[in-house]
Amino acid sequence: GGGISGLTFALGLRRLSVPCHIYEAASQFGEIGAGVGIGINAQRAMSLIDPRILAGYLKVSCENLDPSKRDIYFQFRMGMDGRGKAAGWKAGSLVTEINGRSEAEWVAGFDDERAVLGGFAKLEGEGHTKGGFGMSVAHRAHLLDELVELYPREGVSFGKRVKRIEQDGLGVVLYFADGSESARHSVAVGCDGIKSDVRRHLWGKEYDAVFSGKYAYRGLLPMAKALELLGDKALVMTAQNYVGHGGHFITMPIENGKLMNVVAFRRAKDGQWRDEKWVLPMQREHLMKDFEEWGEKSKKLLSLMERPDVWALFEDPPLPQYWKGRVAVIGDAAHASTPHQGAGAGMAIEDAYVLSSLLGLVKRPEQAEAAFRAYDEVRRERSQKLVTTSHNAGELYELHATGVDDDLDKLSDKLSHQFKWIWDEDVTQEFERAKKMFEDLTK
C-alpha cells in the first residue's frame, strides 16, 4: 500500500538501507479525505524515521492561528442547548479546553528539535508561528505529496492489488489481481488500510472491519465565510469540538487558514450501515435533519459545507497478533480506529518507526520473524487500546458515555485524561524494548 503508512514505513526502511518495494493498487499515489491530524507523539516518530518527513509535514500543516491558542488541542463547546443534567447550557458555551503542552511531559525537549527543522517559521502574510503542541492538521493529499517527493519512483509498482500470498521456506510470493507476474520477497508488510487484503489473508473475513455505529459528514468551507458567520476570529482560527445529544462536530483551520475543515458526526439510529459503499455523496436535507435541534449558528455553519460526503465509520476488531510467518500488518490494516481522538495516522507512523527500525537490525531473512514478533509485542496493546478509547471518546462527545452522559463536569474530567497516554509516549523506549527482545530471540 502506498498511503501515508506505507510511504512512511518504506522511507524508514530505505534510510536504514533495507531494500524494499511498494505495490499500490491504484494507478498513482493518492489520498481521499481532507484533514489528517498528526499529534506530537507522531511528529516525534516522523523525525526519528527521517527528519525530512517531519520537515515536509510542518511545511504543509496548519495549527491554531490565534497565537494565544497555539497549544490548545480542542476547545469543547455545546453545539446545542443542553438538556437533562446539561440544562441551562446554551449553544456555543465553552465547556472545557485541552492543552497539548501541559498534557505531554516530554515536549520541552522537542521544541529545539522542531525549531531546527524550521517548524517555527513565520506563516507567509500572517504574524503566527507554526509548531505548537495543540491541534496540528494537514490536508491528506498535501502530506502524501511531501512523502512522495522523498521516495524514488523506481521503488513502486502501480495497479498491483494483492490477490493471494504464499509463504515457503524462502520467503513470500505475492500474486496480483491483474494477472501479472508474481513477485517474490523475503517478507511482506501490509500497509493497505482498513479494507486490507493482507489482513484478510492472515486472519480471514472474521477480522474484517465492523461498523462503529456512527457516520460523518465531511466537507470544507472558505474561512472567510466562517468568519462572516461567526464574527469571532479567535473562534474560527482555533480547533473546536461542538458536543451535543446524539451527535457532535469539529472545525479547524487548514491550508494556513484559507479553509475550515468541518466534520459532523451522527449516531446511526439503528446502529447499522447497509450500503456496500462506505463513502456516499451527501444529501443536504439529511444533514440538516440530523442536526435540526442544534443551535442556529451550528446549523448555518454546517449548511455552508462545500462538496461534503458521508463516511461510514468502521473499526477493526482486535487481531490476535500482527504477523504470521514472514507477513505482518501495520497502521489501519492492523488496528483501524474511529477518528474521535485524531490519532489513527499517528499510530501508523509509530508502527512504521518501530518496525522499520527492527527490520534494520535483521542480518539474515530468517531473522525477520523475530523482528515481527518483537514489533507485535510492543505495538499491539497500545494500538488496540486506541480503537477502544476512540470509540469511547465518540460516546463522550455525544453525551452518551456510560457513567457520564450529559453531566458536563464529569465530561470535563474525562476529557482532561483522554489524550495524555497518546501524546506522552516515548517511542524510542518502545524500540529499545523491541530491540532487546529481537536480540534475545536471535542469539
Catalytic residue positions, numbered: 218
Neighbouring C-beta atoms of residue 165, cutoff 10 Å: 20
Classify 420 as helix, strand or coil.
Answer: helix
CA nearest to 202, candidates 178, 175, 167:
167
Evaluated on CA atoms 116, 258, 30, 153, the torsion sign reads negative
CA 290 to chain CA centroid, nearest Å: 25
Joined grid coordinates for residue 225: 465565510
Residue type, 93: S
Evaluated on CA atoms 334, 340, 266, 137, the torsion sign reads negative
Evaluated on CA atoms 101, 70, 121, 260, the torsion sign reads positive
CA nearest to 259, candidates 67, 30, 43, 34:
34
| Residue that has been written with the C-alpha cell 501515508 in this structure | 4
d(CA 256, CA 339): 22
In 199-326, DSSP assigns E strands to 210-222, 240-244, 247-254, 259-267, 279-281, 306-315, 323-324
CB 107 within 8 A of CB 133: yes
Measured in Å, how far apart are the chain's first and last C-alpha atoms? 33
CA nearest to 319, candidates 395, 394, 391, 379:
379
Residue type, 125: G
Residues linked to residue 217 through DSSP beta bridges, in sequence order = 264, 310
d(CA 23, CA 1): 6
Residues linked to residue 218 through DSSP beta bridges, in sequence order = 263, 309
d(CA 391, CA 332): 15
d(CA 418, CA 406): 17
Residue type, 380: R
> How long, in residues, is the chain?
443
Q: What radius of gyration, in Å, describes the C-alpha atoms of the chain?
A: 22
